[in-house]
């Protein structure tokens, strides 16, 4: 899951981004509408968190214009404006959720995760539990079991494994994994993907489920041992 946070209060923006990253999401943070527009044009996001009042104006105008152009990415508005009229305006102009400041970080994370699940990139709902052989990935509970044994995973390991499972036995390139699981500052040629893949292979154990497709990327699937 990749999320864009548009917040001009630096301290709050960093706190929100850190909380979301702590759950394994890739998060890009910008402070106004023009850089947000550039980011949205460049990356596919699972959700965008907009502060209402930004340096160049109220973000509901931007979201409303985007919606009329066919943009469907879920939007959560963050704002100190808490009247019923303000909330109605947020929903009327294209918002999917509305959270009033000050807010509990845990509630923000839960709401963003809910919006991310609502619409995957292809418009389909992700399966609540993905199964590959004896591997079970419970997306909602964020739990992974193999052979019924609960495995301990970092947030980033879970994100990568979830992305591989969502591909349904098709190859996922390194660049696609970086696009979905890391922030925009990650260098495409860095070895972050290799490190996480190695950690996942060690934790998942034998027989291996994550396979390298030379020159293409990685695939999560059950394969018969050679010679069988």
Q: In terms of pLDDT, which residue wins out, 128 or 161? A: 161
2-118 under CATH 3.40.50.2300, yes or no: yes
Q: In terms of pLDDT, which residue wins out, 81 or 40? A: 40
Q: In what order do the strands lie in the sheet with 143-146?
A: 129-132, 135-138, 143-146, 149-151
User: Within 10 Å of residue 3's Cβ, how many Cβ atoms?
Assistant: 26
Examine the pLDDT at 115 and tell me if it is beyond 80.
yes
Report CA dihedral (148, 164, 162, 210) to the nearest 10 degrees: 40
**Highest mean pLDDT (candidates 137-141, 206-210, 223-227):** 206-210
Burial of 79 (0-12, 13-18, 19+ CB in 10 A): buried
Supply the DSSP symbol for 124.
Answer: P
pLDDT of residue 124: 46
CB 109 within 8 A of CB 5: no
Which token pair is 36?
Answer: 């947000």
192-204 and 174-181 helices, crossing angle to 10°: 90
Provide the pLDDT confidence category of residue 132 given band limits of 50, 70 and 90. very high
Q: In terms of pLDDT, which residue wins out, 15 or 184? A: 15
pLDDT of residue 187: 65
Examine the pLDDT at 188 and tell me if it is beyond 80.
no
pLDDT of residue 138: 87
Examine the pLDDT at 48 and tell me if it is beyond 50.
yes
Tell me the pairing of strands 210-213 and 149-151.
Answer: unpaired
pLDDT digits (tens, 9 = 90+) for 98-111: 999 889 988 999 99
pLDDT of residue 26: 87
Give the integer Cα–Cα distance in Å for 182 and 6. Answer: 17
Which token pair is 135?
Answer: 């591997």
Examine the pLDDT at 209 and tell me if it is beyond 90.
yes
Which token pair is 93?
Answer: 């102009």
The dihedral built from the CA positions of residue 194, 199, 202 and 208, taken in this order, carries a sign that is negative
Provide the pLDDT confidence category of residue 144 given band limits of 50, 70 and 90. very high
Query: Domain map of the chain by residue range?
Result: 2-118, 129-220
CATH classification code of 129-220: 1.10.10.10
Phi, psi of 91 (to 5 degrees): -70, -40
């Amino acid at each position: 899951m990749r999320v864009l946070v548009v917040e001009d209060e630096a301290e709050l923006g960093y706190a929100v981004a850190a909380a979301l990253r702590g759950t394994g999401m890739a998060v890009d943070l910008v402070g106004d509408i023009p850089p947000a527009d550039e980011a949205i044009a460049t990356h596919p996001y699972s959700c965008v968190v907009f502060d209402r009042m930004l340096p160049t104006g109220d973000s509901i105008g931007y979201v409303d214009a985007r919606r009329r152009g066919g943009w469907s990415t879920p939007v959560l508005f963050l704002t100190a404006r808490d009247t019923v009229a303000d909330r109605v305006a947020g929903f009327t102009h294209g918002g999917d959720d509305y959270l009033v400041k000050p807010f509990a970080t845990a509630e923000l994370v839960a709401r963003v995760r809910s919006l991310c699940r609502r619409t995957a990139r292809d418009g389909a709902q992700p399966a609540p539990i993905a199964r590959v052989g004896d591997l079970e990935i419970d997306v909602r509970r964020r739990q992974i079991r193999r052979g019924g044994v609960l495995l301990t995973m970092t947030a980033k390991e879970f994100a990568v494994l979830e992305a591989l499972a969502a591909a349904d036995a098709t190859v996922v390139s390194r660049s696609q994994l970086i696009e979905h699981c890391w922030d925009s500052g990650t260098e495409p040629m860095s070895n972050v993907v290799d490190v996480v893949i190695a950690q996942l292979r060690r934790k998942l154990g034998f027989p291996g489920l994550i396979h390298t497709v030379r020159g293409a990327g990685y695939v999560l699937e059950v394969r018969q041992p050679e010679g069988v």
